[in-house]
Structure 1
Amino acid sequence: MKRHYISALTLAAASALLAMPAAHAGDAPATSHYGSIERAQAKRATELLDSAVEYLQKNGPEKAFAKFNEPAGPFVHGPYYVYAVDMDGFMVANGGSQVGLVGKNEIDLRDAAGKPLIRDLLEQARVNDTGSIEYRWLNRVSNHIENKVSQYRKVDKYILCVGYYTPRGSVEEAQELLDKAVAYLKKSGDKAAFTAFNSQQGGFLHNDLYVFAIGIDDGRYRASGDSPQLSGMDVRGLRDAAGKPMVEEMIKLAKSKGSGTVDFVWRNPATNAVEQKHSLIQRVDNVLLGVGYYSK
């Protein structure tokens, strides 16, 4: 049978869809899965930061910092809040922890991994007026130390920041999710399994982990928890950010060994950075199932 690959235009669209946030009708609730929550988090952080910058520019530092510090004020939205330092490292506002931080020079403040958080922020802001920093911080909602990204904007001599958490799935969690998907496919059959893998409520999304399924013979997506709209698309010609044909390698590995890992580089939609990704795959009849996790 003649193999029909997706066109270059369709391939580009597929790459964009896979690597970029899906459109949402609104902000996802804090309890939803990665396909909604991480991308909504970045969006909400940006929106709050934009509002804070505008408020500071219109009202001046004294009024703005007082407003940012209000525990139940307009610049504290659950886990999203504004914090601000001056170029000497003096904490002038912090909607998440007014006690103990505001009013002090925090240039030596370090994250949970010992990273000099404020020093790094100041060094970066001296070069770029806008950007982001990554660090490890306590998530008071989950009570776990997690990866956090803070977007920042320099306004005159102040740096305004809004952060959001980006929990990463581990290789152990990826393998556990893949094993769960394999068992479910064998037990429930193609139709029920692919429907579950494609659903936000199907039980196959965890942090930044999701299940995908690709036909070994035709190279078409049966399911993709991250981008269910791609179901039915032939992705054998899909390449990573470095030009590697990772889907072809997955199919080849599934045919020859039945399971294994394919490494490639891909944009992490949670951090918006191109990172190493590792897809664990396993063959079940004429379908390969996979779960990928990111590492830096």
Structure 2
Amino acid sequence: MKTLLRASALCLAMQTGMAQADVEPTQKDAIAMVEKGAAMVKSQGKDEVMKRIAARDPEFVVGSLYLYARDLKSGVVLAHPINPAIVGKDLIDVPDTNGKTYRREIIELAAKTGKGWVDYTYKNPATGKIEPKTTYVLRVNDIVLEAGIYKK
């Protein structure tokens, strides 16, 4: 009987986990992830957060939602869990498919107001299609933390 109960509990846990992975993240989820990263920068330092982002820490990568960081002054990508090839690169003037230099807008918004949302288009790795995306931006000292969601 105990084995049956454990098996049932395991199946339920697996189903719940799968259901959560299918749920699209919301703007609240993006804000919460960025704020979690900001709190960690303040408590454990920038280097620790960069290491955890690079290591795809489950706190900072949940389904299609992930935390990444760039330098406030240069716009250079400091950490990215999904596309590590762009780390160390200055992509500030590379436009989206509509010609918008959204990375420059992210840096300008962070420098001016400290936080907010930036809209642009980006290739969704799940669908392979260019889709509208919005990213929450938060300045923490000399870095910008970001997490974005695809708009449906």
TM class by shorter chain equals 0.7 to 0.9
Indicate the residue corresponding to 2:4 in structure 1: none
Indicate the residue corresponding to 2:54 in structure 1: 198
Contact 1:166 1:271 in 2 (8 A): no
From 22, 32, 35, the equivalent of 1:176 is: 32
**Alignment RMSD, CA only?**
1.9
DSSP 3-state at the match of 1:234: coil
Give CA-to-partner distance per residue, 1:221-259, whole Å, 9 cap, x none.
111122123211111112112111010000010111010
Indicate the residue corresponding to 1:269 in structure 2: 125
C-alpha change, 1:144 and 1:221, in structure 2 (3 Å) is: closer
Contact 1:166 1:270 in 2 (8 A): no
Residue 250 (structure 1) aligned with residue 106 (structure 2): yes
Query: What's the offset of the Cα at 1:277?
Result: 0.5
**1:29-40 alignment, distance < 5 Å:** none
**1:154-233 alignment, distance < 5 Å:** 166-201=22-57, 203-233=59-89
Instruction: Give the number of the structure with larger relative contact order, counting CA–CA contacts within 8 Å between residues 6 or more apart.
Output: 2
Separation (CA, whole Å) in 2 of partners of 1:173 and 1:191: 23
Give the structure-2-normalised TM-score.
0.83
Segments of 5+ residues of structure 1 without an aligned counterpart are 1-139, 147-164
Separation (CA, whole Å) in 1 of partners of 2:85 and 2:29: 25
Give the structure-1-normalised TM-score.
0.44
User: Rg bigger for which structure?
Assistant: 1
Residue 283 (structure 1) aligned with residue 113 (structure 2): no
Indicate the residue corresponding to 2:8 in structure 1: none
Separation (CA, whole Å) in 2 of partners of 1:188 and 1:227: 24
**1:47-86 alignment, distance < 5 Å:** none
Separation (CA, whole Å) in 1 of partners of 2:88 and 2:17: 40
Segments of 5+ residues of structure 2 without an aligned counterpart are 1-13
C-alpha change, 1:272 and 1:207, in structure 2 (3 Å) is: same
- The one-letter code matched in structure 2 to 1:192 is E
Separation (CA, whole Å) in 2 of partners of 1:265 and 1:204: 22
C-alpha change, 1:272 and 1:167, in structure 2 (3 Å) is: farther
DSSP 3-state at the match of 1:196: helix
Query: By percentage of residues, which structure has more helix?
Result: 2
Percent identity between the aligned chains?
27
From 139, 142, 161, the equivalent of 2:16 is: 142
C-alpha change, 1:143 and 1:289, in structure 2 (3 Å) is: closer
- The one-letter code matched in structure 2 to 1:282 is L
DSSP 3-state at the match of 2:33: helix
Indicate the residue corresponding to 2:151 in structure 1: 295
DSSP 3-state at the match of 1:142: helix
- The one-letter code matched in structure 1 to 2:84 is P
Query: What's the offset of the Cα at 1:143?
Result: 7.2
Contact 1:259 1:281 in 2 (8 A): yes
Give CA-to-partner distance per residue, 1:120-150, whole Å, 9 cap, x none.
xxxxxxxxxxxxxxxxxxxx8337768xxxx
- The one-letter code matched in structure 2 to 1:141 is Q
Separation (CA, whole Å) in 2 of partners of 1:221 and 1:181: 16
